[in-house]
């Protein structure tokens, strides 16, 4: 299934908004949009260079992501663009991959998302993203 999908973004946790903005400045990233994801207590800034996958800069203001990698942040997940959550959920079930949430949630942008539980992937966080537009 995933051979037909493309990398949507890479999520990186930053300990503060200042750290995230500094990273964008140093690496020449342009902010496309940002949004707040209430269930994860996080600001998510989507930025990228002229081409390629986006980088999601995640800044938590509560919840478990505050302590991610002992509070210093780092690479958190890889996200794949999918066409249909029902199809993806069926594929996950067929391959013994448990999803983190019982149903997809609204992401920081115009998309739905859910994670494959890291227990199913030897600790690698993989997010599934379905654009709503």
- The domain segmentation of the chain, as residue ranges, is 2-131
| C-alpha span between 67 and 54 (Å, rounded) | 24
Of the candidates 59, 88, 54, the residue with the CA atom closest to the CA atom of residue 72: 59
Query: CB–CB of 34/108 below 8 Å?
Result: yes
- Interval 79-116: pLDDT, tens: 999 999 999 999 999 999 999 999 999 999 899 999 99
Written out in words, the top-level CATH class of the domain with range 2-131 is: alpha beta
127: DSSP letter: E
Helix (H) or strand (E) holding 43: strand 42-48
* Cβ-contact 127, 80 below 8 angstroms: yes
pLDDT at 3 over 70: no
């Amino acid at each position: 299934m995933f051979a037909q999908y493309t990398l949507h973004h890479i999520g990186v946790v930053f300990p503060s908004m200042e750290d995230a903005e500094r990273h964008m400045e140093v690496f020449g990233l342009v902010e496309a949009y940002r949004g707040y994801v209430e269930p994860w207590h996080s600001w998510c800034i989507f930025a990228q260079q002229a081409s390629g996958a986006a980088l999601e800069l995640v800044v938590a203001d509560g919840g478990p992501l505050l302590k991610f990698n002992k509070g210093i942040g780092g690479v958190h997940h890889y996200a794949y663009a999918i066409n249909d959550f029902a199809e993806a959920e069926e594929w996950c079930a067929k391959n013994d991959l448990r999803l983190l949430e019982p149903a997809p949630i609204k992401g920081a942008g115009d998309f739905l998302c859910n994670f494959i539980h890291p227990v199913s992937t030897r600790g690698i966080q993989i997010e599934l993203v379905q654009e709503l537009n």
